[in-house]
Chains A and B, each alone.
Chain A
Amino acid sequence: MSTVEAAVTQPHAGAPRRTGVWAWMTTVDHKKIGVLYGTTALFFFLVGGLEALLIRIQLSRPENDFVSAETYNQLFTMHGTTMIFLVGMPLAVAFFNYIVPLQIGARDVAFPRLNALSYWIFLIGALFLNSSFLVGAAPNAGWFGYANLTSPQYSPGLNVDFWVLGLQILGVASIMGGVNFVTTIINMRAPGMRLMRMPLFTWMAFITSFLIITALPVLAVALFMLTFDRFWGTLFFNTAAGGDVVLWQHLFWMFGHPEVYILILPAFGILSDVIPTFSKKPLFGYAVMVYSGSLIGLIGWGVWAHHMFAVGMGPIPDAFFTIATMIIAIPTGVKIFNWIATMWGGQIRFTSAMMYATAAVAVFTIGGVSGIMHATSPHDLQQTDTYFVVAHFHYVLLGGLVLGVFSGIHYWFPKVTGRMMDEKLGKLAFWIYLIGLNLTFMPMHWIGLLGMPRRIFTYSASLNLESLNMLASVGGFITGIAVLVLFYNLVRSLRHGDIAGPNPWHAPTLEWATESPPVEHNFNRIPVVHSREPLWLEAADVEAAARGEPDPNIHMPPSSYWPIFTAVGVNLTFILMLAPMWWAPLIGIAWTAVGVIQWAYEPVH
């Protein structure tokens, strides 16, 4: 964590200046919370990456016995669960937290304590989920937990209990975060910051937050139904009682498909901020980028059953979801062209951030193309549940999401820490990563269409897929090396990076008007904006407001320990369901109630 602390303005008497661990545990500052989310997510990125490498070692040879079938099933389940819920989503939220208030000219988010609550619920929930490894009962039924494999009859152990409870906890944190950001973006914009003047990153944060608040409740309901089946004998997915296992799939994918847009739209937002900055010209087609992002979010609610083409819904639903999925390729494709057009005619400066962003556009397109192949639903009956799908989503995720996030890290690191990352190390990591990712996942297109299904701990030598699998495994390790170089760069630059200054990239958006890192209250005076690129078109005024004479009336919300206290209660409510006494979760509910009530009556002025 950064040791560079901005001067804190605490205008009231009686609020003691807190430092150290306690300061972090009670912070309600969106910037600190962003750093907490980011650091935690990057830690779990290493955990998920380790799980991936163990998987690839096992699959590097057919009929291998590096890990047992049970261990493998836990590894692939936790790899997916970790990367999606403990890395992808928290990284997005880390960026939302740090950057969105700065981009809209606000001093914090709408509900700072709720913001902290989201983080602590997430952290404790993530630790709970991973504690399952300690008791040898990590979730083992896939990140998608299909009924009725997850029913008590077919998964009697603790593994799936950890999964349903852990995911439920994480979902609560996400929904609260979504509410926070929707409110923030609607209600806390600086004067003149009309919606159609907001940076694209904030727009994507906005759309993503809507997706979160609509999709996560559906998952919560599915998880509750499975939880009640497992703990209290309900019959939701009990086929003997008339339960329908396909209902689980519908509910899960009604969450699951918006979820993938929750993962990718923030990265799209990062690309839409980074590319104009380094091309030195505005984003091409701003309005269309907003509308296409919104359309993707909206149509994304209508394509879920393309994950279910093999389950036998019948030709009419199959056709509907086929067409809807192909339609969604259009706004997505438009974005690709707009990014290229932004670069066209520019004076492109290839910093690490820009290299990652450019590669993200290219690599995402490769993944997008295999997505359209999936949409060709008759042939999807060959592709689905094979390594072809694994290739597709890793290309869009490692290509779009991770390359986008890495771009964002290089781009905003100076703002967050006040120091520059090393460009040589940055470019080295970039090339290794690009080679690694292609080496790992390009062969998987073939591995899948040559007959290897997913989620198998080993495969027959007779399939003749050993060399392709070995290639993918080697690629995996190369990708891992790249990540380590990036992490080394991050850590080293914290202490040894060049001092950054407020706007090292000469970028156009409002966050670059503040100090690096920003003071606790972000802007000395809230700027008034008249354009989409305030630091290109009205820099003097905006910088004077941000860094000039401070407003005498700045009021920042005080720190509070009620969020972390309440987060413990929320976690206990679910975790204590594992306890033998039926009334144990009530302890969690009571704890949460105490936290919430104390919080409600805590003075905020």
Chain B
Amino acid sequence: MIDRLSPRRVRGVAAVSASLAGFAACTGGTEYPQTTFHPVTQYGEMLNAVFLNTFWWTIGILVLVLVLIIYVVFRFRERPGMPRPKQIHGNTQIEILWTIVPAIIVVFIAVPTVQTIFETQRRASEEALTIEVIGHQWWWEFNYPEQGVRTANLFYVPIGRQIHLQMHSADVVHSFWIPRLGGKRDVVPLARAHEGQEPRYNHIVFTVDSAGTYSGQCAEFCGAAHAIMMTTAVAVAPAEFDQWVASMQHAPPPPPPAPDTVAATVTDTATVLQAPAGQPALDPVAEQGRAIFLRSACVACHAVSNTTAQGRVGPSLTRFGLRPTVGAGARPNTQENVEAWIRNPRALKAGTLMPGAQEAAAGFPPTGLSDEEIRAVATYLRSLN
């Protein structure tokens, strides 16, 4: 009979061991690329510190409550022949105690929390690197106003320097979240600001301590392809950052096409930034692709720096070859996938606003590119690294 098992004890023990096992698991590291437990910024660490404070207080209360319940369940079970229990209605002193003690605990939780709120929302310093982040359905735009760089989905930051993300949305509410860099912030479509009025940007301010690649994604439901709106931050030494900026401003001629591997899982940033030594001749297919790209409808939406393609409706494709995925996370950046994307984007990412070869979208007519043209264009774009 189920009643005769020690049900509460079984449950209690299971709960406690599960928690401990789980806690051990959660200290696992970068096998969880979007973990919040291993921040690489002081900002992220401050958030975790205030969380841990709350965590220990509240877990303590939880354990107390669970232990009490388990105790009560066993100790005060009805037994045959026992008289009716004492009809107690309350105990003012105890009730005052268990009101005051939680109130005090709330103070211990609230004070560091409020301190952290103000510390983490300080304005960025004058020396910060400002990056404008614009959320779109369903990709991320990054502008570096000082450096004159515009890119999409993948962006670089120097370590050791304060970064100021100044963010808004071009359409609906999104949320920018790279967990290892810290907390998220919504990006909100700006109301038309009156003259002299600051538009309501949202801000994230942080300094990255260790080089690496940190991935994230949109965290506010924004429509059909909300789930496929990834972003990647690449944190590098300042010198390499400057090189990247330079390369984005003056894109080198495309090197020979790489073998068909994923262009950048980007765990090794050095490989990524290796400029091919002594620029070999341009691959004819890539050259062809560039010509087709520059004369097709592509340039209505897309831009590649140092070319005549300066469209700003869609993601910039400068150094597209660096990006881990096509379509902001739809598929890994391989020749086959990029071709498939250009042919029919909605087959890879339902709802996306880019027209395909045969299919119109968002008011844009089909591109009409043939399969061969698509192959060439894909080769060209992937060669931009």
Contacts and interface: CB of A to CB of B under 8 A. Distances in A.
Contacts of A453: 175, 177, 217-219
Interface string A264-303: 0000000000000001111011111000000000000000
Contact of A379 (B51, B84, B225): B51
B183 A334 contact: no
B191 A239 contact: yes
B20 interface: no
Contacts of B190: 239
Contacts of B227: 69, 455-459
A451 B223 contact: no
Interface stretch (A442-450, A515-523, A550-558): A442-450
A366 B16 CA distance: 12
Nearest to B65: A365
Q: Decide if the interface of chain A is mainly helix, strand, loop or mixed.
A: helix
A243 B192 CA distance: 8
Given A280-B84, A369-B62, A446-B25, A378 B185 contact: no
Contacts of B26: 446, 449-450
B221 A142 contact: yes
A442 B88 contact: no
Interface in A293-333: 310-312, 314-315, 318-319, 322-323, 326-327, 329-330, 333
Interface in A333-377: 333-334, 336-338, 340-341, 343-350, 358, 361-362, 365-366, 369, 372-373, 375-377
Contact of A376 (B15, B94, B109): B109
Most B C-beta atoms less than 10 A away, residue of A288, A323, A453: A453
A274 B35 CA distance: 42
A68 B350 contact: yes
Contacts of B94: 341
Contact of A378 (B58, B68, B183, B226): B183
A293 to B, nearest CB: 14
Contacts of A311: 173, 186, 188, 202
A434 B192 contact: no
B106 A377 contact: no
B247 interface: no
A289 B62 CA distance: 20
Interface string A374-406: 011111111011100000000000000000000
Interface string A431-446: 1001000100010011
A446 B23 CA distance: 9
Contacts of B22: 442, 445-446
Interface string B203-245: 1000000000001111111111111001000000000000000
Contacts of A286: 89-90
A282 B62 contact: no
Contact of A346 (B33, B58, B85, B185): B85
Interface in B23-39: 25-26, 31-37
A458 B85 CA distance: 55
A362 B85 contact: no
A225 interface: no
A225 B182 CA distance: 36
A450 B82 contact: no
Most B C-beta atoms less than 10 A away, residue of A288, A362, A431, A464: A362
A340 B183 contact: no
Given A455-B221, A455-B226, A450 B118 contact: no
Contacts of A93: none
A149 B222 contact: yes
Nearest to B48: A379
B141 to A, nearest CB: 17
B191 A382 contact: no
Contact of A347 (B78, B109, B114, B217): B78
Nearest to A459: B227
Contacts of B218: 453
A385 B192 contact: no
A22 B59 CA distance: 55
Contacts, number: 290
B173 A146 contact: yes
Given A68-B350, A312-B202, A428 B2 contact: yes
Given A323-B114, A343-B76, A69 B351 contact: yes
A371 to B, nearest CB: 9
Contact of B72 (A142, A344, A427): A344
Interface stretch (B95-103, B251-259, B283-291, B306-314): B95-103
Interface in A485-516: none
B32 A288 contact: no
Given A336-B65, A450-B34, A376 B191 contact: no
A343 B75 CA distance: 10
B249 interface: no
A556 B152 CA distance: 71
A345 B51 contact: no
A141 B221 CA distance: 8
Contacts of A69: 224-225, 227, 350-351
B273 interface: no
B301 interface: no
B146 interface: no
A82 interface: no
A149 B219 CA distance: 14
B120 interface: yes
A340 B37 contact: no
A330 B32 contact: no
B171 interface: yes
A581 interface: no
A281 B118 contact: no
B172 A154 contact: yes
Contacts of B78: 280, 347-349
Contact of B90 (A288, A322, A450): A288
A373 B58 contact: yes
B50 A346 contact: no
A146 B87 CA distance: 51
B85 A281 contact: yes
A197 interface: no
B58 A149 contact: no
A578 interface: no
B221 A454 contact: yes
B76 A377 contact: no
A385 B173 CA distance: 13
A462 B55 contact: no
B136 to A, nearest CB: 12
B327 interface: no
A20 interface: no
B76 A345 contact: yes
A310 B66 contact: no
A26 to B, nearest CB: 43
Contact of A242 (B32, B46, B191, B226): B191
Given A68-B350, A146-B221, A455-B221, A330 B106 contact: yes
B197 to A, nearest CB: 11
B224 A73 contact: yes
B41 interface: no
B113 interface: yes
B8 to A, nearest CB: 8
B18 A312 contact: no
B192 A239 contact: yes
Given A142-B221, A239-B190, A334-B98, A463 B11 contact: no
Nearest to B100: A330
B113 A70 contact: no
Contact of A451 (B32, B109, B189, B226): B32
22 contacts: A146-B220, A148-B189, A281-B85, A282-B89, A284-B90, A285-B90, A310-B186, A312-B188, A315-B118, A326-B109, A330-B106, A334-B99, A340-B65, A343-B72, A345-B88, A358-B73, A362-B69, A365-B61, A382-B179, A450-B35, A453-B177, A454-B221
**Lowest 8 CB-CB distances: which A-B pairs, in order?**
A451-B34, A381-B183, A456-B227, A379-B51, A312-B202, A285-B90, A453-B219, A455-B221
Given A378-B113, A381-B182, A434-B11, 6 more contacts: A148-B173, A149-B172, A245-B188, A285-B95, A318-B117, A327-B106
